[in-house]
Structure 1
Amino acid sequence: MERFVMEKLVKWKNSPYRKPLILKGVRQVGKTWLLKEFGSRYYENIAYFNFDENEEYKQFFETTKDVDRILQNLMLVSGQKIVPEKTLIIFDEIQDCPKVINSMKYFCENASQYHIACAGSLLGIALAKPSSFPVGKVNFMQIDPMTFSEFLLANGDENLFRYIENVNVIEPIPDAFFNPLCEKLKMYYVTGGMPESVLMWTEARDISAMEESLSGIISAYERDFAKHPKITEFPKISMIWKSIPSQLARENKKFIYKVVKQGARAREYEDALQWLVDARLVHKIYRGTAPGLPISAYDDLSAFKIYLVDVGLLRKLAQLSPTAFGEGNRLFTEFKGALTENFVLQTLITQFEVTPRYWTKTNPPYEVDFVIQRENDIFPIEVKSESNTTSKSLKKYKELYPDKVKLRVRFSLDNLKLDDDVLNIPLFMADKTDKLIGIALKQRFENQ
């Protein structure tokens, strides 16, 4: 499998400002595989240390802060070789090892000749705790589920991938590419972007093994809920997690605590929800009240939506059968387009530095699904799960903020086109949003 984040790892390796690297990402998103693959491609050898399998390794960090002594002990006990500049040192499963995390400060200050990369499945939780964390002494990298483009490559559809990759003008995509891309996207909704699930489909074409893989990942996450420091939060985390399909199945997808449990109040469940956000198992999207900068200054903190980390996991959690794959465009519209909205959000999160927001207006009700910040511009985004694309909310948004809207963006099953200031992006091109907005702005302002 090809992961595009490999390019970022190569940049990290070659950077004169390189610091120890911390890879963040949910369990089974492929962090360990990625680091080992990176090490085997770009280094003479790898020294791999797993602190979950070998808890005794932690002791070396508790007795000294001298990095040479630490590495010497690790080499002696494991029989692995470490050569400065030529070895990638991988510290895996470090989420429960505060001393290991803290030692990155000393590796950064006193031993920059060593290339160290760390990973762990609940690192977001560990890093959210106030402890002696080495602020400014590490580089971070987020690993997300595989994108649709990565899925195409894994599935052997290099021709379709190359076509999308080389689009550099906003014009309709020929049916010879458009139709198969729609079909492949349906399959991506079924598998999602978790590498094991993708592998089960792309290599073996085995639907039952792929379903089993997704069930196993969900079970692993649910076992992790018990790792919350307060055991009383465990059932609450579980209830929020299981309520996500119901939250997204509603017409207005704003998160409501009563959907979790009748009579539930925010203050009882806030910690549990924050745990899921810190673990990055869910994305929390606030309602923005106006398109101003910085976008966070206009957040309504009482109103938000939550989405799952991956569309395939959402489908499995919602107990939607893969057979929906064969039924026309049903998969796109299933439970009010929730899969489609989740898919678009997970692609936007990886492309834009600032977390998207959403926008609503009442009496009469209008809702713009997402609002993104790209450089110093704000763009409203509407997600349509079919090719019926009347966009009343986008129209209203422009009426209210005429000077703030350079371009309105709509995702749908319609073809790629720029209609005045409305850019329609076919859903299968969602992970090219940033690039397509850039092309559309150029085309639009050149033609004026």
Structure 2
Amino acid sequence: MFFERNILSQLQVWTARPKPKPLLLKGARQVGKTSLLKWYGQTHYSKTAYFNFDRQPDLKQFFELTKDPLRIIQNLSLVVGFPIEPKNTLIIFDEIQECKEALNSLKYFEENQEPFHVVGAGSLLGVTLGNFASFPVGKVEFLELFPLTFLEFLTQKDPEMSNYLNSIQLVEPIPDYFFNRILESFRLYMISGGMPEPAKELVESADLSRVETLLENINLAYELDFSKHVPSKDIQKISYIWNSIPSQLAKENKKFLYQVVKPGARAREYEDALTWLIQAGLVYKVNRVNKVGIPLSAYQDLAIFKIYFLDLGLLRSKARLAPNAIIHPTALFSEFKGALAENYVLQSLISQFGELPSYWTSNGKAEVDFLIQVQNSIFPVEVKSGENTRSRSLTVYDEENRPELKLRFSMKNLIHQDHLLNIPLFMADRTRDLVDMMLKK
């Protein structure tokens, strides 16, 4: 089973160019980069030439001995056993961060007259690029692959309901039959999260114990990466931060506190460790703003922020929250249920709007979960994990800033009233479309 990813349309645009620049596909480990590129090569090219610098370290010598793309291609053709042809062959350099010379060679492929279609991928590309002084700026394109969205998951779990959600063009309540059917799939998605392997297991077998094992293994693989790729002085600090995130999100205001990481910890001691996690794509940092203005990024307080996981399934697993808490929620689960809902909405917003939102506070009186900027408009976003949607914070924000539109995610139906758009949590992936519908009115 293959999950059809939204990024495919962007890959097709890249392929269609007369001479596409080399492409770097970023994304955390296990989000599906390799399987996506291999499938794309098989379905859109005559041949696929796949190379993995982690598993085939001897390949590095080809890039150390020459900078000539034609000589490199000649050598690589001998490795795969067939001629690598311009346009007709997709060349995949996997784990490219393991070979700095291969990264540097991308600029020579871009300058070469032959239109070779080259894609580099790697799970720690963000870390590598952040510390790579000779990176070929302007010579490559970038795409980023995130965990599966709920709509991508639903395409396999319930194609009929996926088509229905994608077809909605009016802001009006969803019939109860459809609402409840989609909600059932959404609860399953909250168990597996967006990592393709656990999600595939859940769709194919519904084996929850196997899903739990797969999620635990991914979290463990990330922790093993700490010791393999991180400077020794930061390994333990990264582990402390990583392990503290469920506790950080369980707090009422969810603001990241170094004292939660370790008693007596100070920001300057842990900043490098936190930066590594961010560059690796394992966590998202959402900064606070207490004054709203355009551009939103100019008003961020970089010293006050929240930290979220890259995926709600991994967060649930890391927090040791059993799947039945999702299926049969209790009052004891209410606080962390909100954290999972926020993490999910954040993932969805990032994949649609292409940048991190901020969050807003007002002198201790109110706090809005997220702010998103759409062109020259700023919209407040409130996340509710259930049907109780009372929110004093949105009221305070409205009084102080008078936004054109307020967004609230909850388990209530789709409705627009008094400049407030209530979006069912399972429709978070349609946020951009829904906002555009409202702005056109």
TM-score by length of 2: 0.97
Which SS does the other structure have where 1:84 is aligned? coil
Q: How far apart, CA to CA, are the structure 1 residues paired with 2:59 and 2:376?
A: 47
Task: Provide the rounded CA distance (Å) in 2 between the counterparts of 1:193 and 1:424.
Answer: 24
Residue 367 of structure 1 and its aligned partner are, at CA, apart by 0.4
Change (3 A) 1:437 1:333: farther
Deviation at 1:334, TM superposition (A): 4.9
Q: In structure 1, how many angstroms separate the alpha carbons of the residues matched to 2:114 and 2:348?
A: 34
In 2, the alpha carbon distance for the partners of 1:15 and 1:427 equals 37
Secondary structure of 1:34 counterpart: helix
1:231-260 CA-partner distances (Å, limit 9, x unpaired): 010010011001000000000111000000
Residue among 115, 119, 122 paired with 2:117: 115
Alignment of 1:186 onto 2:184: no
Opposite residue 368 of structure 1, the aligned amino acid is V
Q: Relative to 1, partners in 2 of residues 1:6 and 1:16: Cα closer, same or farther, differing over 3 Å?
A: same
Equivalent position of 2:340 in the other structure: 339
Query: How many angstroms does 1:112 deviate by?
Result: 4.6
Q: 1:384 is matched with which residue?
A: 384
2:314, 2:96 → 1: CA distance? 25
The answer to whether the 8 Å contact 2:32/2:196 transfers is yes
Deviations 1:335-384 (A, max 9, x none): 25100000000100111133200001234x30000000111111000001
Per the TM alignment, residue 137 of structure 1 is displaced from its structure 2 partner at its CA by 0.4
Q: In structure 1, what is the Cα distance between the partners aligned to 2:355 and 2:420? A: 22
Task: Return the alpha-carbon distance in structure 1 between the equivalents of residues 156 and 226 of structure 2.
Answer: 31
Matched residue SS, 1:368: strand
Q: Quick check: 1:321 aligned with 2:327?
A: no
Q: How much does 1:330 deviate?
A: 6.7
1:406 aligns with 2:407: no
Q: Is the contact made by 1:19 and 1:112 (CA closer than 8 Å) also made in structure 2? A: no
Distance 2:151 2:218 in 1: 22
Letter in 2 for 1:435: D
User: Matched residues in 2 for 1:440 and 1:329: separation?
Assistant: 35
Q: How does 1:91-240 map to 2 (within 5 A)?
A: 91-155=93-157, 157-240=158-241
Q: Is the 8 A contact 2:252 2:335 kept in 1?
A: no
| Alpha-carbon distance in structure 2 between the residues aligned to 1:332 and 1:164 | 29
Deviation sequence 1:220-279 (CA, Å, 0-9, x none):
100111234420100100110010000000001110000000010000000000000000
Deviations 1:52-97 (A, max 9, x none): 1110100010111001001111112332331111000111111121
AA aligned opposite 1:289? N
Residue in 2 aligned with 1:253?
Answer: 254
> How is 1:12-23 mapped onto 2 (pairs within 5 angstroms)?
12-16=14-18, 18-23=20-25
For 2:237 and 2:307, the matched residues in 1 are separated by 15
C-alpha RMSD of the superposition: 1.4
Once the two structures are TM-superposed, the CA of residue 323 in structure 1 deviates from its matched residue by 1.4
Aligned to 2:48: 46
For residues 371 and 61 of structure 2, what CA distance do their matches in structure 1 show? Answer: 48
Partner of 1:307: 308
Displacement of 1:332: 8.0
Say which SS state the counterpart of residue 284 (structure 1) adopts: strand
* CA distances 1:267-307 after superposition (whole Å, capped 9, x unpaired): 00000000000001000000012221111110111100010
| Corresponding position of 2:373 | 373
Aligned residue in 2 for 1:424: 422
* 2:73 paired residue number: 71
Residues 26, 122 of structure 1: 8 Å contact kept: yes
Amino acid at match of 1:252: N
The correspondence for 2:33, drawn from 26, 31, 34, is: 31
CA separation of 1:103 and 1:257: change in aligned 2, threshold 3 A: same
Of 68, 81, 84, 1:82 maps to 84
Contact 1:332 1:340 in 2 (8 A): no
Cα distance 1:394–1:311, how it changes in 2: closer, same or farther (>3 A)? same
The verdict on how the C-alpha distance between 1:260 and 1:112 changes in structure 2, with shifts beyond 3 A counting, is farther
- Secondary structure of 2:101 counterpart: helix
Relative to structure 2, which stretch is displaced further, 203-212 or 268-277? 203-212
Secondary structure of the equivalent of 2:103?
helix
Give the conservation status (yes or no) of the 8 Å contact 1:47–1:90.
yes
Q: Distance in 1 between matches of 2:56 and 2:306?
A: 40
Larger displacement relative to structure 2 (425-434 or 334-343) = 334-343
Task: Give deviations 1:94-122, integer Å, cap 9, x for gaps.
Answer: 11211100000000011451001111111
Using the TM superposition, give the Cα deviation of residue 429 of structure 1 relative to its aligned residue in structure 2, in angstroms.
0.2
CA contact (8 A) 2:49 2:80 kept: no
Q: Which runs of 4+ in 1 moved over 3 A?
A: 328-334
Identity %: 54
Check whether the contact 1:84–1:114 (CA below 8 A) recurs between aligned residues: yes
CA distance change for structure 1 residues 111 and 56 in 2, over 3 Å: closer, same or farther? Answer: farther
In the alignment, the residues of structure 1 paired with residue 119 and residue 104 of structure 2 have an alpha-carbon distance, to the nearest angstrom, of 14
Amino acid at match of 2:422: N
**Are the counterparts in 2 of residues 287 and 304 from structure 1 also a CA contact under 8 Å?**
yes
Per the TM alignment, residue 325 of structure 1 is displaced from its structure 2 partner at its CA by 3.0
Per-residue Cα deviation, 1:309-347 (whole angstroms, up to 9, x for no partner): 000000000000011133157798352510000000010
Whole-angstrom CA distance in 2 between matches of 1:382 and 1:124: 30
Cα distance in 2 between the residues matched to 1:299 and 1:336: 27
Q: Give the partner amino acid of 1:3.
A: R
Aligned-partner residue type, residue 210 of structure 1: V
Q: Residues 30 and 342 of structure 1: is their aligned pair in 2 closer, same or farther, counting only changes over 3 Å?
A: same
1:144-195 CA-partner distances (Å, limit 9, x unpaired): 000000111121x011111110111111110011112222111111000100
* CA separation of 1:29 and 1:354: change in aligned 2, threshold 3 A: closer
What are the ranges of 5 or more consecutive residues in structure 2 without an aligned counterpart?
Answer: none
What letter matches 1:413 in structure 2? Answer: M
- Aligned counterparts of 1:265 and 1:112: Cα–Cα separation in 2: 53
Matched residue pairs, number? 439
TM-score normalized with structure 1 length: 0.95
Change (3 A) 1:66 1:286: same
- The alpha carbon displacement at 1:442 in A equals 2.5
Alignment partner of 1:9 out of 8, 11, 19: 11
Evaluate the alpha carbon distance shift between residue 167 and residue 266 of structure 1 in structure 2; reply closer, same or farther with a 3 A threshold: same
In 2: Cα distance, 1:124 partner to 1:318 partner: 26
